[in-house]
Amino acid sequence: MRIVLWSYTFVAIGGALGAMARFALNVMLQRDIAFPWGTLGANLLGCLVMGVVAQLVASAAWFNEAGFVPDQYRLLFAIGFCGSFTTLSALVMEIHTMLQRSEILNSFAYLMVTMIGGFACFYVGFMLTRAVR
């Protein structure tokens, strides 16, 4: 029971930090309503962080030296922080809004930059962490 409680605590802390970081990034990047820079930035940065976390989890020996349990680290950063920092629902709503304004090219570009850029950011984070380690 205690392990389950700690798991929820790690997700909650990570989720709160991710939501606040997403809001702060959106405030910094969103200067107009023409293009959703805040959501794009959060999704790409979140993929980069997820790549770093994935590489750290893949090399579990580091966790033992740092005193972390791999699952706790994954719960805090991958599920909690990245889960609340990135957002598919905002992406879908913003694409819908662009389509309602007949911005077909912008909506398609936004979707492609998010998907391809997200994978690229994940890969860069994964490979940079591997190179540093």
pLDDT tens column, 100-121: 999 999 999 999 999 999 999 9
pLDDT digits (tens, 9 = 90+) for 42-72: 999 999 999 988 888 777 665 556 665 567 7
What amino acid occupies position 90? A
pLDDT tens for each residue of 78-104: 899 999 999 899 999 999 999 999 999
Predicted model pTM: 0.85
- How far is residue 19 from each of residues 66, 96, 129, measured CA to CA in Å? 26, 23, 24
Mean pLDDT of all residues belonging to the chain: 89
Residue 26: partners with Cβ closer than 8 Å, 6 or more residues away: 38, 39, 41, 42
Calpha distance 130→9 (Å, rounded): 29
Pair of tokens at residue 45: 């940065």
- Report how far residue 118's alpha carbon sits from residue 54's, in angstroms, rounded to the nearest whole number: 14
